[in-house]
Amino acid sequence: MPIHPLAGKKAPESMLVNVPELVSSYYTDEPKGPVAFGTSGHRGSSFEGTFNEHHIASISQAICDYRKMKAIQGPLFLGFDTHALSSPAFRTALEVFAGNDVETIIHKGDEFTPTPVISFLILEYNRKGQGGFADGVVITPSHNSPKDGGFKYNPPHGGPADVDVTRWIEDRANELMKGRNKGIHIKGLPYEKARNATTTHEQDFIGPFVEALSGVVDMDAIRSHGIRIGADPMGGAGVHFWGRIAERYGLNIEVVNGNVDPTFRFMTVDSDGVIRMDCSSPHAMAGLIAMAGMFDIAWGNDPDFDRHGIVCPDGLMKPNHYLSVAIWYLIQNRPMWEKEISIGKTLVSSSMIDRVVNGLGKRLYETPVGFKWFVHGLRDGSVAFGGEESAGASFLRMDGSVWTTDKDGFCMSLLSAEILAKTGKTPSELYREKLVPQFGDPFYERADGPVTDRQKSVLKDLKPGSIKASSLAGIPIDKVMTKAPGNDESIGGVKVILKDGSWLAIRPSGTEPKMKIYVESFGGKDLWQRIYDEAVPFIFGG
């Protein structure tokens, strides 16, 4: 795909979002679209009429109705990230939760709250059995551009809500959206009354999370080896966590950018010319990559800290490379984990993971895209690691118990420092020196493009038998899948595996109006290109 001329460069002033207009649109513009939950909650922009006060009030009321229906009577943990629309959405949500007498716990001092922290707090509360079951809401569009907003619900299991739950909330919210023109009112209080309501409580979220990290990652090893760490919060919700972590464990962490600015003016532009806080993108991470030589290991995280980007002295690791190394290392360095554990991956992640897992005698649990598929396995300890190709993952505590059931950029980032401390090699060196010689050297890239309604329809209706061809790029087809082998759930598209281990997958995005094409070649870049060139006509004809 063509690279934008500004890719990897600081965003010019002309590209920055007008925050006052964006927030004004949130409160004043009429909605131009329904509530629509993708793989990570409802996302949109007030400029487009897809994320404004009416949407958030309706979703919040729907969550209150869902809690009542399911008798969820514990507190709701409410957090938000640094996007411009997150703060007004937080206010709207708190007004509705207070109006419905929902016990709501917010971060003390209006601090930002990362996604994994909400998951951790839910699980900790429910583990201790303090009365009723807790759940939570995270207000974030993840790595999306500064003009976007996002709103996602985590039920009492602590992870992303599954399809049945989000469908119920989505349907109820849209009923409420329509009903506001028919005299149906959403319960709510003015913000100041909601903030001071007896049901609203403040709590320090940073301390408990930081204190518990030593049960997940070997902090002593990182400290004793004096690993020099660079951390770039990328203007995100974890900006004030790294200092507390460094202080608590005596780590040598330098926060290279402690700025919070809803325009994200400090970012370098992504490959398509958009400001996007994607820590897996070498263009968005150009600033930290330029500083790589200053540190033994460095990392960046997206605004809600559920993703990680690992920077070694030789550059940014590809997400699949680091996932493969992390799995390889953890399986061999967590002796208290059960022998019969499974390793979870989405089926559009690299087949290098399959080979690593099989080579170390563990079971692979392969799912559709979406971290929600790993929730129950992480919670009961049967899945020790769950990872997505988009640089999101989490894993069990060292004793084999659950840590988070949502993606955690903190533990995945800190793990890279543990790996360096314990092996003397960076994850990048381990990938080249240990994994490639044993398992091969696949070439993996994802390409995004426009998607038509016809193509969406074709993908939705595809069955393995729909593919009549016997080969792709001159290589015989081994298998065609429209369901994931780990849980037999629909993948929302198709995956075609070739006899040499190369594969192609196509699916519509769950968060943006585009088609995602994944190709991995075990025959180098040239074979990757041949598979990619044939992909769209192969699946859709023409």
User: Closest Cα partner for 165 from 70, 52, 35?
Assistant: 70
- With beta carbons less than 8 A apart as the criterion, state whether 346 and 334 touch: no
SS (H, E, C) 450-485: CCCHHHHHHHHHCCHHHCCCCEECCEEEEEEEEECC
Residue 65: which H helix or E strand, with range? helix 53-69
Catalytic residue among 46, 142, 342, 390: 142
- What is the token pair recorded at 165? 């739950």
DSSP H or E stretch at residue 318: none
Task: Give the containing element (helix H, strand E) for 315.
Answer: strand 315-316
Instruction: With both helix axes pointing from N to C terminus, report the angle between 409-423 and 319-333 in degrees, rounded to the nearest 10.
Output: 60
**In whole angstroms, what is the distance from residue 127 CA to residue 158 CA?**
11
142 is catalytic: yes
Q: Which of 121, 76, 80 is nearest to 100 (CA)?
A: 76
For 469, counting Cβ atoms within 10 Å of its Cβ (0-12 exposed, 13-18 middle, 19+ buried), the class is: exposed
Query: Rounded distance, CA 331 to CA 384, Å?
Result: 9
CB 295 within 8 A of CB 33: no
- Residues with active-site annotation: 142
